Copies of this chain bind each other. A is one copy, B any other.
Amino acid sequence: MVSQVIPHALERLIQDLTRLPGIGKKTASRLALNILRRPPAEARELASALMELHSSIQLCSCCFTFSEHDPCELCKDPKRDPQIICVVEQPGDLLAIEKTNSFHGHYHILHGVLSPIDGIGPGEIKIAELEARVTSGTVKEILIATSSTVPGETTANYLIDRLQKAAVTVSRLACGIPMGMDIKYADKYTLAKAIESRSKTA
């Protein structure tokens, strides 16, 4: 009954939109109806941005982030410190770290985390490529910035193991209470971690 009243082209767009993360059937309908209500030029602009996306963006052959150039702007930048490499799961993590303006070294994007259940082993993510960069000689420190989730931790521990013999310092992001958070709202695991990793005052 309902599918009969939804035009086919609208139904198709709704279906396509539901493939995106966090977009369910209801949100997709709302977005599609909104696009339909607005000027056709806006829909065409969005379509053209989508078409251009993959054709103009590639992976940087050095750090594997998405970039229009190879090597990417960051790998080319002489102001950045080549002695420290921050290892992240996805390009989105790189952007999050760049926004802090607190890291001025280079990056390495793994493009995933180890997850044996999903068939993702060390060969499926950019670990060998990281080792190649480490053995090149310039690198002095590897900062592992994977998520503090189970697969993120597994990946971090695997990397620490594999980099043990290399002549580099391996560091990790600190875990603890988020800035500005009331202690009574922190979950018990975070709080336990914060106690365990407590820092001494002067």
Contacts and interface: CB of A to CB of B under 8 A. Distances in A.
Interface in A58-84: 65-68, 72-74
B51 A44 contact: yes
Given A20-B34, A30-B92, A2 B99 contact: yes
> Chain A at the B interface: mostly helix, strand, loop or mixed?
helix
A200 interface: no
A9 interface: yes
Interface residues of A, number: 61
Contact of A46 (B9, B50, B57, B73): B50
Interface string A1-44: 11011111110110011011111000101111111110010111
Interface in A114-141: none
Contact of A43 (B5, B7, B51): B51
Contacts of A20: 31, 34-35
A138 to B, nearest CB: 21
A92 B50 contact: no
Contacts of A17: 46
A5 B65 contact: yes
A50 B57 contact: no
A51 B56 contact: no
Nearest to A13: B49
A124 to B, nearest CB: 14
A23 to B, nearest CB: 8
A53 B45 CA distance: 13
Contacts of A36: 53-54, 57, 66, 91
A134 B4 CA distance: 26
